[in-house]
Amino acid sequence: MTDRVVQLRFDKRSTERLDKFLTESLPEFSRSRIQGLIADGFVDVNGHAAKKAGQTLEAGYTLTVRIPPPAPTDLVAEEIPLDIIFENEDLLVVNKPAGMVVHPAAGSPSGTLANALAFHFRELSTWAGPVRPGIVHRLDKDTSGVMIAAKTMSAFHSLVGQFKRRTVEKEYLALVWGNVVADKGIIDRPIGRHRSDRKRMSSLHFLNRSRDAVTVWSVEKRFAFSSLPRPRSRLTLLRLHPRTGRTHQIRVHLADLGHPLVGDRVYGLRRNKSVAGGFSESVLDGFPRQALHAERLTIDHVRTGRRMEFHAPLSNDLCGLLTRLQAAGSA
């Protein structure tokens, strides 16, 4: 496979950094990937190798970007069943189960969605990297719901661009601790690495670097249990529309709002042995993962631009939990 070559012309009136312009022009690549291409000599400015990522561009400059093919992959194809919602020649949409990691990483070398995709659909786009065939976005391991993968390079570029431009609509259901008083609202708080715990993110106590994050929410249902002390005596089912896609965004925003997800072992309430409405801690405190489900995803068709909407049925564990809560009591 040969290098992909992209020709660009800088025609803006004001000057701009090379890496910034290329990141805007090639939305399928992160800024760090662009900087790597520049450092490795894959970018020419006016026919000469780019000097550095921060090189200043002026009107009339021409650029040539060579994008090497992905390196041979060590990803092992695994015969793992997939719950396929939709498939055509460009896309694959699945309902990811809770407990499945999206792609191999430290501690999760196999059994991932990427391993399953590599087995079932060997021609999925690999432009996301050798261990992420066709993957253009991600869900946390313990979040269930709709995910989309690209089967061709053109579909991959289209989808990555849509996510970057924030034209993709995402909708989640979340069960949280406490009574959310208002019926709807917007959380607009930047998120960054927690300043004292590098494994966590925060919208309140982050280091200097942070990124904008916006989550729109509305209340679906409220539950109340007189046998439990506050804040554990009430729960709220929320519908959420994240406008950005930051790491742990929904989990962090809700926890910092004072309403962490049921079952969240990182950002949630501590477990105890309370009993609510006749059912034991195994129903609430023992719920094995964060009660978060990606229910809907809406994109533009990668060829026609027509809006396409995909729904992932609520997972059995969350369905069962909500059924038991409904039977035990509601606000």
**H/E stretch holding 92:** strand 91-96
Residue 140 is encoded by which pair of tokens?
A: 């946390």
CA distances from 267 to 20, 207, 233, 259, 300 (A): 34, 18, 19, 10, 34
What helix, strand, coil percent values describe the chain, rounded to 5? 20, 30, 50
Residue 262 is encoded by which pair of tokens?
A: 């049921």
pLDDT of residue 128: 55
What percentage of residues in the chain have a pLDDT greater than 90? 57
Alpha-carbon torsion (107, 240, 224, 98), positive or negative? negative
pLDDT of residue 76: 84
How far is the C-alpha of 105 from the C-alpha of 210, rounded, in Å?
24
pLDDT of residue 32: 81
**Residue 126: pLDDT above 90?**
no
- Three-state SS string over 118-147 comes to HHHCCCCCCCCCCCCCCECCCCCCCCEEEE
What percentage of residues in the chain have a pLDDT greater than 70? 87
* Band of pLDDT at residue 67, cut at 50, 70 and 90: confident
pLDDT of residue 129: 58
Are 172 and 293 in contact by the 8 Å Cβ rule? The answer is yes
Are 127 and 153 in contact by the 8 Å Cβ rule? The answer is yes
Bridge partners of 144, per DSSP, are 293
pLDDT tens, residue by residue, 209-248: 788 999 999 999 999 876 665 656 789 999 999 999 998 9
pLDDT of residue 218: 98
Catalytic residues: 140
Section 249-278 average pLDDT: 80
pLDDT of residue 72: 54
Q: Mean pLDDT, the chain, as a whole number?
A: 86
How far is the C-alpha of 290 from the C-alpha of 287, rounded, in Å?
8
Section 247-254 average pLDDT: 95
pLDDT of residue 195: 84
**Global pTM exceeds 0.75:** yes
Domains and CATH numbers, the chain: 4-67 (3.10.290.10), 84-165 (3.30.2350.10), 169-328 (3.30.2350.10)
How far is the C-alpha of 152 from the C-alpha of 58, rounded, in Å?
34
Integer Rg of the chain from CA: 22
The residues near 134 (Cβ < 8 Å, ≥ 6 apart) are: 92, 117, 121, 124, 125, 126, 128, 149, 150, 151, 156
Are 247 and 227 in contact by the 8 Å Cβ rule? The answer is no
**Residue 271: pLDDT above 60?**
no
pLDDT of residue 269: 74
* Band of pLDDT at residue 314, cut at 50, 70 and 90: very high
pLDDT of residue 123: 60
Identify the residue with better confidence: 285 or 59. 59
pLDDT of residue 99: 94
**Residue 280: pLDDT above 50?**
no
Lowest mean pLDDT segment, chosen from 9-18, 106-115, 297-306, 307-316: 106-115
pLDDT of residue 279: 46
**Residue 112: pLDDT above 50?**
yes
pLDDT of residue 42: 92
